Structure 1
Amino acid sequence: MTWELFNVIGTIAFALSGVIVAMEEDYDIMGVYILGLVTAFGGGAIRNLLIGLPVTALWEQGTLFTIAIVVMTLAFIFPIWINKWLKWGILFDAIGLAAFAIQGALFAQGMGLPLSAVIVAAMLTGTGGGIVRDVLAGRKPLVFSSDIYVLWAIFGGLVIGITEIQAMWQLLILLVAIVTLRMLSVQYRWQLPHKNVKASG
């Protein structure tokens, strides 16, 4: 139940995130659906591939596909919602990042995988869909932006891998913590170390 709850939260948040990006780029309805679906399910597909599960396991999530399509359809039919949500696009993305990072970590932990795999599963599940979304939209992926992004997914995986927390209230606190840290990193432009090396003429 816990795993499924975070799966639903992440799916809705990332589907809306994909819809917002698609509408910002003036995509048609097919573009809206494709961008929303790859954002919502891309991270899980990448994770499954790298931890040895068949990619076809993705198609067993019929209910989640239905939820995502309904959410995207409503958002497309009532664009006034999107106009109000545009400024919340980063928040939806942060919620999706947190929910899927936690879900991915729980998934790997449930398979009895080591800490390193739990962290990687959290990172890939939390960021994979957003990377695919941004690439398809011709944008610089948030993972590589100046504001800290992927570190918060790693943080979620590390907390679950070390503490092995399972209680719903503990996981919800972790979700709120990840979302808060992500939004703070945007607000205050927290950055990881980086260098800009340009070839001289």
Structure 2
Amino acid sequence: MTWEVLSMIGTVAFAMSGAIIAMEEDFDILGVYILGIVTAFGGGAIRNLLIGVPVSALWEQGVFFQIALLSITIVFLFLNNLLKLWQRWGNFFDAIGLSAFAIQGAMYAVKMNLSLSAVIVAAVLTGSGGGMIRDLLAGRKPLILQAEIYGVWAIVCGLAIGLKLAVSSMELYILFVLVTLLRVLSYTYNWRLPKRLSFEKKGAFYKM
């Protein structure tokens, strides 16, 4: 039940996210559906490739595809009504999707008895892979690589589940709420990982 609930939450959140970004970039109706589906299922497809699960396993999730298509259709038909809501709560929905899918990916890897490192990779790819593909297809810089702390929270999910700190349904839901809250705090207060200024920005860029 925990797996299904988290999968459903993540699917709705990311499908809507992809559809709205597609419409912001002026995609046609086919592009809206493609970007919504890719955002919802792209992370899982990449995860499956890396941990040795046939990508065709995704096609067994018929109900979740229907949920994603319904979510995208609602966005397409009622965008004007949803846009203000999205502008205010879009990052929150993205945080929900990140947390839900990262936990789902980590649980998937644990069920396959993979190593801790593989569990973490599965969490990161499932939680942020779809968003990375979405941003690239939309011509944007991937959020995970340059914005507020993002991928770290997926790593937290992988560690918590891989180290057996969250096992029961209640513990997994607590982890879901905690990681969602941390992601919300990170974009609200603009928490960022350390980075160095480029040579060009420092005025020390040299052409080779």
Fold in common (TM above 0.5): yes
Could you tell me which residue of structure 2 aligns to residue 68 of structure 1?
68
8 Å Cα contact 1:20-1:89 kept in structure 2: no
CA apart distance, 1:107? 0.4
Matches within 5 A, 1:46-195: 46-87=46-87, 88-195=89-196
1:30 aligns with 2:36: no
CA apart distance, 1:85? 2.5
Deviations 1:129-187 (A, max 9, x none): 00000000000100112311000000011011112523222111111111111111111
Which aligned runs of 4 or more in structure 1 are off by greater than 3 angstroms?
Answer: none
CA apart distance, 1:66? 0.6
8 Å Cα contact 1:18-1:36 kept in structure 2: yes
Structure 2: distance between partners of 1:13 and 1:38: 13
Larger Rg: 2
Deviations 1:4-57 (A, max 9, x none): 211111101100111121121122211110110000000000000000011111
The two structures have a TM-score, normalised by structure 2, of: 0.92
SS at match of 1:163: coil
Deviations 1:81-136 (A, max 9, x none): 32123222211111110000000000000111111111110011001000000000
CA apart distance, 1:195? 1.3
5+ residue gaps, structure 1, are: none
The two structures have a TM-score, normalised by structure 1, of: 0.96
5+ residue gaps, structure 2, are: 200-204
Q: Which residue, 178, 192, 206 being the options, matches 1:200?
A: 206
* RMSD between superposed Cα atoms in Å: 1.2
Deviations 1:52-83 (A, max 9, x none): 01111111111111110011111111123321
| Identical-pair percentage | 59
